[in-house]
Amino acid sequence: MPPTTTLWPLDHHTEAKHRVYKRYLQAWYPILLSQRRGITYAEGFAGPGEYTCHTPGSPILALRTLLRAKPQPTPEGPAYLLFVEGDRDRCQHLRDRLAAELGTLDPTALRTRGLFVDVRQGRCNDTIPTMFAEHRVVTRPLLAVFDTWGSAVSFDLLRRVAKTPGAETIVTIQPGHFARFAKDPEHYGDNVFGSALWRDVQTQPARAKADYIRQQYRRTLNDAGFRYVLDFELADEGGHLLYLVYGTNHDRGIEKMKDAIWAVDPVRGIGYRDPRDPNQQMLDIEFGPQTGPLRRLILDHLANRSGHRATVDQLRTFTLQKTIFRRGHARTVISELLSSGQVHRAAPGRLTGSSVIALTAASPQARSVRRPEQETG
């Protein structure tokens, strides 16, 4: 449940998310600032900027990461930091924290440093579009973060973000919330998903409800205008599910987000799962990738393809765009599958990107009747 106080304790899910955000921003800022076009970091539901333990919130992490980036913003290539918070006291607390970090929030003083910082109280879905228009967000790359206590944001807002050239978004969503309220005809879920299809979660078996909501939200980001959608599950020891969903139109963005995910150590019982893994295996990222889930995913992918075959490059692209794993992990898994005899090369020779990999006739996947793959983007 959302907190009712100005500050609240830092939970384990949030700590894990913040590590991912920080790692991603450490890559995102330098790449885009080097283009000297300026950038925009926007955050709805920004919060007060810190927790009761004085650990910084995501707006402060975003600012600190920016101030350490190379190159730095300049008046010719500025950085815009836009924050929206609905609660008056939290909004003021965030302003105070930002002022303490920067020494001032005076616009003239910040402009000489290539910084524009705008903090407003209001409803995210109403206020963020106004700020986008006033600051001419469409003229520069945009990263929009919507950490919404799991309830997501309106489809119209996502569509507006996606129309910005170079835009990317990160959204959190709790599947249990929507599964619980799907019968309520007045629930705002239709505005979140852009249609009423999500309500069919009522007809799904209990074990399939969370995954159904995840698939519907992937479709929502695709329909909003994001070509590529990456989602992964932050799972704690109590089994509470939170999906972090990332949308972009650039392969490079997915690569950098994957780098951020795989660079973050496990945090106090929080781990990652690839939601497509039928065994829902927790991934121990600290000690390197466990390839079991990716082996299963690649075998299932081959089973769904015509002729049960694909090139190495096609499997690498599948791994990048459709799983939590990095592109480079595919080569390792393909070698393991070849050694085990579950797949074979259509022609002998050195393994290259154009080498064709096919399921062996004895593979359980090849003998099974597979469902066509439904997810896109």
Higher per-residue pLDDT: 362 or 66: 66
The rounded radius of gyration (Å) of the Cα atoms in the chain is 22
* Percentage above 70 pLDDT, the chain: 87
Fold of 12-286: Rossmann fold (3.40.50)
- Compute the distance between CA of residue 79 and CA of residue 339 in angstroms, rounded to an integer: 50
Within 10 angstroms of residue 253's Cβ, the number of other Cβ atoms is 23
The span from the first CA to the last CA of the chain, in angstroms, equals 31
Residue 71 preceded by cis peptide, ω within 30: yes
Question: How many Å separate Cα 201 from the centre of its chain?
Answer: 22
Strands 271-273 and 167-173: unpaired
User: φ, ψ for residue 349 (rounded to 5)?
Assistant: 125, -175
Token readout for 205 is 């078996």
Q: By the 8 A CB rule, do 221 and 158 touch?
A: yes
pTM: 0.86
Say yes or no: domain 290-367 is CATH 1.10.10.10. Answer: yes
Distances from the Cα of 103 to the Cαs of 55, 106, 109, 263, in angstroms?
A: 19, 9, 10, 32
For residue range 235-248, what is the model confidence (pLDDT) as tens digits? 655 566 788 899 99
Q: Would you list the domain boundaries of the chain?
A: 12-286, 290-367
User: If we measure between CA atoms, which residue out of 57, 23, 27 comes closest to residue 39?
Assistant: 27
Instruction: State the chain's mean pLDDT as an integer.
Output: 88
